[in-house]
Structure 1
């Protein structure tokens, strides 16, 4: 089975949805599953140096500081229920996620899922600036990617353009929010639903017996 995942690496609901899907897959185990990760840039206008996180989020959502805190508290509780940590007190910067998505694109298939999780962990648990090339290279080298080669690839305009183009393509094809999951090019799950919802989607996809176009 092929599962396409559209996400952004600063989206807490994407991390929660990823956890729910992978928990469902651990229970399911009916078929071999191939995961494809796709970038969805929530805000590509954020500069390389980033913005102060809380002010940015207040302006983006048009809410007051106390409302934002309530939102963070709720999201953090949902993360805890799913089994992931979302430490909004650690996050200092709203960042541009192009570099993070470039690293995911460049990571070999056998470590790609781990690299995705490492990026989420760096941002939501350690409060690191995942828009900083040194942070991204450090994540890659932790999974045995070559630092010198990786820096060259991350500075390659073609790699950057591919991430931007893929994100734009998703929007042109009707994906307006993330996380968004497509199973075997047919069954769609929009949002960070429960493990049970993902299990139902997996079973529905298997029953359709649609060949995966990998």
Structure 2
């Protein structure tokens, strides 16, 4: 079964959705599963040094500090139930995730999912700046990615263009928020859902393998602010 995942590392619902999906996969007894990770940049206009997190989020959401904290508390509680740690009180930076998605693109297939988990942990648990090249190289090295390859290509113009182009292509094809999961190109699940919903989606996708039908299921997601043009930093 092919599962395409559109996500961004700055999106807590993407991490929660990933956890629920992989819990469902662990219980799956059908065909072998292959994952394809796709970038969806929520805001690649953020500079490499990042912005102050809470003021950025207040401006983005258009809410006051108390309402923002309430939103964080609700999201954190959902994360806890899923087994995901979301330490919003520790996060100091709103980050540009373009480099992080480049790192995924440079990583061998058998290490990609481990790397994705490590990047989410680096941001939501360790407050690391995902816009910093040395930080990303360190994360890649820790999961076994060739550091010489990362030093040579991470941040290269061609790779920046590729990541932004793929994210833009997703928007042009009707994707407006993440996480988004597509099973066998048949069943589309928008947002973070329970393990049971993902199990049902996988079962349904397997049954629809030879069908032209498609389905959409929606729940919590992160919507984009803006995305600059291809090649911009």
TM-score (normalised: structure 1):
0.96
Shift of the alpha carbon at 1:29? 2.8
Does the alignment pair 1:145 with 2:136? no
Over the aligned positions, Cα root-mean-square deviation in angstroms equals 1.0
Counterpart in the other structure of 1:198: 198
Q: Can you give the 5+ residue segments of structure 2 that lack an aligned partner in the other structure?
A: 212-233
Taking the TM superposition and a 5 Å limit, the aligned residue runs for 1:20-31 are: 20-31=20-31
Counterpart in the other structure of 1:174: 174
SS at match of 1:189: strand
Partner Cα distance (1:69, 1:110) in 2: 38
Q: Deviations over 1:98-136 (max 9, x none)?
A: 000000111100010000000000000011111111110
Does the alignment pair 1:136 with 2:136? yes
Counterpart in the other structure of 1:183: 183
Q: Can you give the 5+ residue segments of structure 1 that lack an aligned partner in the other structure?
A: none
Counterpart in the other structure of 1:99: 99
Counterpart in the other structure of 1:54: 54
Partner Cα distance (2:135, 2:210) in 1: 40
Q: Which moved more, 1:202-211 or 1:184-193?
A: 202-211
Partner Cα distance (1:196, 1:52) in 2: 37
Higher share of residues assigned helix: 1
Counterpart in the other structure of 1:157: 157
Aligned residues: 211
Partner Cα distance (1:123, 1:11) in 2: 10
Q: Which ranges of 4 or more aligned residues in structure 1 deviate by more than 4 Å? A: none
Q: Deviations over 1:78-104 (max 9, x none)?
A: 000001000011111001000000001
Q: Which moved more, 1:179-188 or 1:147-156?
A: 147-156
Shift of the alpha carbon at 1:210? 4.1
Partner Cα distance (1:178, 1:155) in 2: 24
Partner Cα distance (2:125, 2:203) in 1: 33
TM-score (normalised: structure 2):
0.89
Please say if residues 184 and 210 of structure 1, whose CA atoms lie closer than 8 Å, have aligned partners that are also in contact.
no
Taking the TM superposition and a 5 Å limit, the aligned residue runs for 1:10-89 are: 10-89=10-89
Partner Cα distance (2:51, 2:58) in 1: 12
Partner Cα distance (1:2, 1:116) in 2: 18
